[in-house]
């Protein structure tokens, strides 16, 4: 670095003739100016190329030696910041030569005539050195400015990168927030819909309970009337009224299923009879622009399932089919037997025989992405407020709970088929005549009947008496406990939902007084868990009930209450 610094502050002397170079160097050295002798101009061209030295002192002979053209070419190629200074010494009379006049125009040169006074030489040399120093200072400033600009560009680029990254992060966060807001809105909509359905369910459940009490009195009275008259005209009217009352009972059962408060009661049932009995209901529900067809297997086996749930599922599937055919179409309800499990369902069904119920429409069908999610809870393609997305998932859950499964086959533009597979059963429900005959052959049964509804209590009393039972009927739990203090009974038959003391509480207190007495509960209410006891289907008879149903429950409850040593002689 020291040598480089000395070069930068030294002048080059190019004076090839005689002792001129030595003399000039001595004069400059005496004035404190560093100088180097350049014998042939090589150092000068290196200085022009590399930007070193403070300038050059040339005699006219030296200028001739290097050549003006070559020198101008080297000057043109010097660094952009450099304007190399020259001091040209011309002999007296030669200063006005044409070639020397061009030197001042082509180079940063000062032409001095010699012989010259040493002071003039030193002054010209120092002027060249000062000019060269200012060039170097300006060059450093330019470099610093360029470095600052480069740093500024780098900072700007870095800032832009950071801004882009931050913008991308903010956009990503905004997308996530938007998605979360959308999902929350969907969840809130589902919650509102679920709350609405729950409120409607509570309303329908309460209405169904009260309506069941009314129907119990109607159905029981008509059932007894049919047994006590031979007038065919009255019997026909009674049968018509009984059929209408039973349809009312089915309606309340569907309301209870809608409110999802109905316990499943699997029984042996005829799917053909269920489908045929729903014809009028389906026709009124889906409208005249859709044709309903049935293909029912005449040799259909009995299936083990809950009758009400089957009716609700068929109705829901018919409504879905209607929605898929806004311009009309055809719905086909079919039944068939499956002696073995199809390979496609081997992972979902246990080996055995099944009954299949299918509902087919000629509607829009489902694309694969919708079909793959059709059984998911809350998944629906309908607009908000037009469906909860629970229909097909409820159907699938019901089928699985019943020991079967459900399957959907659909082709876009061609239609959809939904099939419910239910296990086959060999059970046969006993007829009313057989049940009454069994009851009549028993020793007389004494029944303590408790119901706060006068109409229900009177009809139930008549039905029990028709079964040859001795009946003590009371309107409240308190009256029942007083009766138990003075008399023993073969059976306690009590309503569940009663004021002051409900049937479950009455049963608990009655068992303390008569531990061996069996209890049978009667109710038109659906959600039995609210009464605080696990009630099974074997200990409950549901309103409205027929005489045969009541007889079957009374018989089964008394048999169960007599203990495990009793031989069941009633089943064949």
DSSP-assigned letters across all residues of 112-142: EEES--HHHHHHHHHHHHHHHHHHHHHHHHH
Mean pLDDT value across residues 533-552 = 76
| Domains of the chain: total | 3
- Choose among 291, 302, 294, 258: nearest CA to 277: 294
pLDDT at 127 (0 to 100): 93
pLDDT digits 0-9 by tens, 113-155: 888 889 999 999 999 999 999 999 998 998 899 899 998 888 8
Q: Whole-angstrom Cα distance, residue 360 to residue 407?
A: 12
Helix (H) or strand (E) holding 492: strand 491-495
Residue 551 within a domain: yes
Tell me which residue range forms the domain holding 512.
Answer: 432-561
The phi, psi pair for 466, rounded to 5°, reads -70, -20
Mean pLDDT value across residues 553-569 = 61
Residue 388: band (very low, low, confident or very high) from pLDDT cuts 50, 70, 90: very low
Mean pLDDT value across residues 245-267 = 60
Residue 407 within a domain: yes
pLDDT at 161 (0 to 100): 85
Share of the chain above pLDDT 70, in %: 78
Domain edge (last residue) among 405, 423, 441: 423
**Residues 547 and 451 occupy one common structural domain:** yes
pLDDT digits 0-9 by tens, 296-342: 999 999 998 888 778 878 888 888 888 888 888 899 999 999 998 88
Q: Whole-angstrom Cα distance, residue 119 to residue 125?
A: 10
Residue 374 within a domain: yes
**Residues 272 and 419 occupy one common structural domain:** yes
pLDDT digits 0-9 by tens, 218-251: 777 777 777 777 778 787 777 777 777 766 666 6
Residues in Cβ contact with 459 at an 8 Å cutoff, skipping those fewer than 6 apart: 216, 217, 220, 221, 224
pLDDT at 386 (0 to 100): 42
Does residue 254 register a pLDDT over 60? no
pLDDT at 195 (0 to 100): 64
Does residue 11 register a pLDDT over 90? yes
User: Distance of alpha carbon 141 from its chain centroid, rounded?
Assistant: 64
**Residues 462 and 354 occupy one common structural domain:** no
Q: Whole-angstrom Cα distance, residue 567 to residue 490?
A: 18
Q: What CATH number is attached to the domain comprising 473? A: 3.40.50.2300
**Residues 418 and 439 occupy one common structural domain:** no
Residue 326 within a domain: yes
User: Distance of alpha carbon 307 from its chain centroid, rounded?
Assistant: 34
How large is the angle between the packed helices 477-486 and 503-513, nearest 10 degrees?
10
């Amino acid at each position: 670095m020291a040598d480089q610094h000395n070069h930068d502050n030294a002048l080059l002397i190019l004076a090839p003739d005689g002792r001129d170079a030595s003399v000039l160097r001595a004069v400059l050295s005496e004035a404190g100016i560093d100088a180097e002798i350049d014998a042939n101009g090589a150092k000068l061209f290196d200085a022009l190329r590399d930007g070193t030295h403070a300038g050059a002192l040339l005699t006219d002979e030296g200028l001739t030696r290097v050549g003006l053209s070559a020198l101008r070419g080297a000057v043109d190629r010097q660094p952009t910041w450099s304007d190399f200074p020259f001091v040209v010494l011309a002999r007296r009379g030669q200063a006005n030569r044409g070639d020397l006049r061009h030197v001042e125009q082509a180079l940063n040169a000062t032409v001095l005539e010699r012989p010259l006074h040493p002071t003039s030489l030193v002054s010209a040399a120092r002027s060249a050195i000062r000019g060269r120093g200012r060039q170097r200072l300006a060059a450093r400033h330019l470099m610093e400015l360029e470095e600052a600009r480069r740093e500024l560009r780098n900072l700007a680029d870095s800032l832009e990168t950071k801004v882009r990254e931050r913008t991308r992060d903010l956009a990503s966060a905004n997308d996530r927030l938007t998605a979360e807001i959308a999902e929350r809105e969907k969840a809130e909509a589902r919650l509102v819909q679920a709350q609405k359905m729950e409120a409607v369910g509570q309303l329908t459940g309460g209405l169904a309970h009260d309506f069941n009490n009314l129907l119990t009195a109607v159905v029981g009275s008509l059932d007894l009337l049919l047994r006590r008259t031979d007038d065919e005209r009255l019997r026909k009217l009674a049968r018509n009224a009984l059929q209408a009352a039973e349809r009312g009972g089915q309606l309340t059962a569907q309301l209870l299923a809608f409110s999802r408060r109905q316990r499943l009661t699997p029984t042996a049932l005829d799917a053909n009879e269920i489908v045929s009995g729903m014809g009028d209901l389906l026709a009124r529900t889906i409208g005249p622009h859709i044709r309903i067809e049935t293909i029912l297997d005449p040799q259909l086996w009995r299936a083990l399932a809950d009758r009400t749930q089957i009716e609700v599922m068929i109705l829901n599937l018919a409504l879905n089919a209607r929605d898929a055919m806004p311009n009309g179409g055809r719905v086909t309800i079919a039944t068939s037997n499956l002696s073995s499990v199809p390979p496609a369902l081997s992972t979902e069904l246990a080996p055995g025989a099944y009954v299949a119920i299918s509902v087919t429409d000629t509607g829009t069908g489902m694309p694969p992405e919708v079909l793959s999610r059709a059984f998911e809870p809350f998944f629906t393609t309908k607009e908000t407020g037009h469906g909860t997305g629970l229909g097909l998932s409820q159907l699938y859950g019901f089928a699985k709970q019943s020991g079967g499964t459900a399957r959907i086959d659909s082709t876009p533009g061609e239609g959809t088929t939904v099939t419910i597979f239910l296990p086959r059963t060999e059970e046969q429900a006993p007829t009313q005549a057989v049940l009454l005959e069994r009851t009549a052959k028993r020793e007389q049964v004494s029944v303590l009947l408790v119901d706060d509804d006068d109409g229900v209590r009177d009809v139930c009393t008549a039905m029990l008496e028709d079964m040859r039972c001795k009946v003590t009927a009371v309107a409240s739990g308190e009256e029942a406990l007083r009766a138990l203090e003075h008399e023993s009974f073969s059976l306690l038959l009590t309503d569940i939902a009663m004021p002051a003391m409900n049937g479950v509480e009455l049963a608990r207190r009655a068992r303390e007084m008569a531990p061996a007495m069996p209890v049978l509960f009667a109710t038109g209410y659906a959600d039995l868990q609210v009464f605080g006891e696990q009630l099974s289907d074997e200990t409950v008879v549901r309103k409205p009930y027929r005489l045969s149903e009541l007889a079957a429950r009374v018989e089964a409850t008394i048999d169960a209450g007599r203990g495990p040593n009793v031989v069941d002689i009633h089943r064949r």
